[in-house]
């Protein structure tokens, strides 16, 4: 009997995971937690200006502390490369960022930590073209409501696409 209940619970959890709501159902200031994932590849060509990703963002409530983490998988041209930054609402009262990345074509991670919001881009450059990876986590407390977003671009504008791959995601929850 116990095995049957365990199997039923596991089946229910698996079905919930496989039917995760869309981005719109998770975003917004009332969501206490969420998982936002890219379901399709997105390419950037001839553009080195950081822009908010079309999927990897959510709305933060005012005066609220969040834990946010994410992973970005990408491929890029050897010349174009990749750059990113993460931004939240202006003037946070607390921000602690940890990030690391792997340059396409290598296996050595590059690590970083910051106690302020990232206002500049982090370039991920090398001669490889496949297997780029970024992982970040942060605790972020803001005074005003606003958007938390992953911002992406080519490091050097060029004709070979930089592609952010399906499966990249951000996950968040309120820490109060």
Distances, alpha carbon 83 to alpha carbons 11, 63, 92, 132, 140, in Å? 40, 30, 23, 11, 21
Domain 2-174 in CATH 3.10.50? The answer is no
- Residue 134 and residue 75: Cα distance in Å, rounded? 12
- Digits of tens for pLDDT over the chain (176 positions)? 454 454 454 454 334 334 444 444 444 445 689 999 999 999 999 999 999 999 999 999 999 999 999 999 999 999 999 999 988 888 888 888 898 999 998 888 898 887 766 667 889 998 889 999 999 999 999 889 999 999 999 999 999 999 999 999 999 999 87
* Domain boundaries, given as residue ranges, for the chain: 2-174
Residue 113 is predicted with a pLDDT of 81
The model's pLDDT over 126-138, given as tens digits with 9 standing for 90+, comes to 888 999 999 999 9
Give CA torsion, residues 112, 113, 116, 122, to 10 deg: 10
Q: How many CB atoms lie within 10 A of CB 37?
A: 18
User: Residue 89 phi/psi, 5° resolution?
Assistant: -55, 155
Count of alpha carbons within 13 angstroms of residue 52, beta-carbon side? 11
Handedness of CA 93, 68, 41, 54 (dihedral sign): negative
CA nearest 144: which of 39, 59, 33? Answer: 59
Residue 117 is predicted with a pLDDT of 64
Q: What is the mean pLDDT of the chain?
A: 83
Considering the entire predicted model, what is its pTM?
Answer: 0.80
Q: Where are the alpha helices (DSSP H) in the chain?
A: 2-18, 23-26
């Amino acid at each position: 009997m116990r095995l049957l209940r365990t199997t039923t619970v596991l089946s229910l959890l698996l079905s919930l995971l496989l039917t995760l709501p869309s981005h719109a159902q998770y975003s917004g200031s009332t969501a206490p937690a969420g998982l936002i994932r890219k379901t399709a590849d997105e390419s950037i060509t001839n553009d080195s200006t950081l822009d908010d990703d079309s999927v990897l963002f959510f709305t933060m409530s005012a005066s609220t502390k969040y834990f946010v983490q994410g992973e970005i998988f990408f491929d890029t041209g050897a010349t174009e490369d990749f750059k990113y930054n993460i931004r939240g609402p202006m003037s946070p009262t607390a921000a602690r960022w940890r990030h690391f990345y792997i340059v396409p074509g290598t296996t050595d991670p590059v690590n970083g930590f910051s106690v302020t919001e990232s206002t500049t881009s982090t370039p991920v450059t090398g001669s490889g073209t496949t297997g780029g990876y970024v992982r970040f986590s942060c605790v972020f407390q803001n005074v005003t409501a606003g958007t938390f977003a992953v911002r992406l671009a080519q490091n050097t504008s060029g004709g070979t696409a930089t592609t952010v791959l399906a499966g990249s995601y951000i996950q968040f929850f309120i820490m109060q």
